A and B are shown apart, each in its own frame.
Chain A
Amino acid sequence: MGVGIEVANLNAWYGTNHTLQDISLNIPANRATALIGPSGCGKSTFVRCLNRMHETNPVARVTGVVRIGDVDIYTDTTPVEIRRRVGMVFQRPNPFPTMSIYDNVAAGLKLNGYSNRRHLDEIVEKSLKNSALWDEVKDDLKKKSGASLSGGQQQRLCIARALAVDPEVLLMDEPASALDPVSTSKIEDLIFQLKSQYTIVIVTHNMQQAARVAEKTGFFLNGRMVEFDSTHKIFTNPSDKRTEDYITGRFG
């Protein structure tokens, strides 16, 4: 089951660059929340702060509080632990090139020392079914490399890989921006199904996509969150002039 995320006064710096300024919002459990805004506005940095992925960059620094469920992710836990609870799907599909399809999905469990073969088989099948890839790959699970799949299939493989460790939250950083329209719509259908079980945060440049999949939408601009409201409100009657300008295509 998904859990909600509370963010309070989150600030982030890359070196001296203040990329996120005083972000506070509540992301609801078991819903899809979209983050929109022009390139460089801090959306990607924001989602990276939700599973402490920003720490892989040595010059990154963060202040503020992020609570996922009832855990303060910066004080109560380790990056390794929080990343198991908060899965991530990246902009470009990044399957492990040397691993079979099966091993890609099982990677999160296997690399953490889990080796019950029968249970792994079940989890791999379930995850691939949940990511709508099972029927396309079930015959070459252990024969083909993850890198041999098409771009759209690779991205669904990456989603399956993230689901296999049974996270509560799924962060998606422009998951469809490198994909063709057919693959994109498959990913969107998937998000629609997955949000009953997971809390989904999706960064997107595609505003129709945000409107289609998300209940809530946040608009980011220059490191600040301008507006956060129901998707319907954001796209039909935004309270801030800048939001309106952005969604109507007047800038950005």
Chain B
Amino acid sequence: MDTLAKEFQMRTRIRGFIDHAATGLAVLSTLLVILPLVAIFVYLLIKGARSVNLDFFTQIPKPVGEAGGGMANAIIGSATLLGVASLIGIPVGIGGGVYLAEYGRGTKLANAIRFTADVLNGVPSIVVGIAAYALIVMPQGHFSALAGGVALAIMMVPTICRTSEEMLHMVPHSVREAALGLGVPSWRSVLSITLKTASPGIITGCMLAFARVAGETAPLLFTALGNEFWSTSLNEPIAALPLQIYVYAISPYDDWHRLAWAGALVLIVLIVLAVSLVRYVTSRGVLKGAS
């Protein structure tokens, strides 16, 4: 009896140790995940914060040799490009996800779409840029904001499509049955019940895709091209923060380097703000106890 009790005590101690070790590992991993983000952010603050001033948000770039200037046109340009990309990419992506999850289960077409989306997700972004160049820039004969937006949209679609599908799969079958059992037509059930139930996850997917393409440079190089001046027209080349950062960062001028750092800082802050805003807006009106 005594040895049994001792052994039991021993095991309890070992279990306690393993438990602590596992928790410790999890905490360590979390820190490792957060570390790069914090490091980048702190480094950007050190390098770029000094150059962020009112001019940065109100002025367009000055010619080489003149001091000052800002990236107002690039900020507006990025917003325009992302707006176009979201307008195209989000509906197409969610629509594709709905097809995969609700209508195409097990069909060959659905499997083909799923495979294509996964491959597209892995295609280098510069290749997407070339595709948009061939699709829009070549026929039109000039670079344009539209072409840039389409390139970004192509990059958003696979992420949104696959996350939407996964999120719709997670909606219990019983919820669909409940809607159909009430005599609700199936299109209405998909729109008002299934999609709505899955919406928090789908919104997260959209935000991930948005944040990812917001920082893309390569697909814009020969679509949106960049622009040193004001432009809001979809039919003309437009400036974008990542492009401007790229151009400034590889330039030989110190004050342009400083502006590039500032641009990177502003880009990150704007992405965080945009994502937080969407989360805030969509989290209002959630009911007590809704899972």
Residues of A within 8 A of B (CB): 51, 53, 56, 79-85, 87-88, 90, 92, 94-100, 107-108, 111-112, 140, 143-145, 147-149, 158, 161-162, 165
Contact = CB atoms under 8 A, between A and B. Distances in A.
B86 interface: no
Contacts of A84: 182-183
Interface string B152-191: 0000000000000000000010111111111111001100
Contacts of A99: 287
B252 interface: no
B182 A111 contact: yes
Contacts of B178: 90, 94-96, 158, 161
The winner among B172, B180, B181, B189 for most chain A CB atoms within 10 A is B181
28 contacts: A51-B181, A53-B177, A53-B181, A56-B180, A80-B185, A81-B183, A82-B183, A84-B182, A87-B182, A94-B177, A95-B178, A96-B178, A96-B197, A97-B175, A97-B197, A97-B291, A98-B196, A98-B199, A108-B184, A140-B288, A147-B289, A147-B290, A148-B288, A148-B290, A158-B178, A161-B182, A162-B182, A165-B183
Given A140-B288, A158-B178, A98 B183 contact: no
A81 B183 CA distance: 6
Question: What 6 A-B pairs have minimum CB-CB distances, sorted nearest first?
Answer: A148-B289, A84-B183, A145-B290, A108-B182, A83-B183, A94-B174
Interface residues of B, number: 25
A94 B288 contact: no
B193 interface: yes
A97 B182 contact: no
A97 B290 contact: yes
A95 B197 CA distance: 11
B192 interface: yes
Contacts of B193: 96, 107, 111
A143 B288 CA distance: 7
Contacts of A165: 182-183
Nearest to A144: B288
B289 A96 contact: no
Which of B178, B185, B290 has its CB near the most chain A CB atoms (within 10 A)? B178
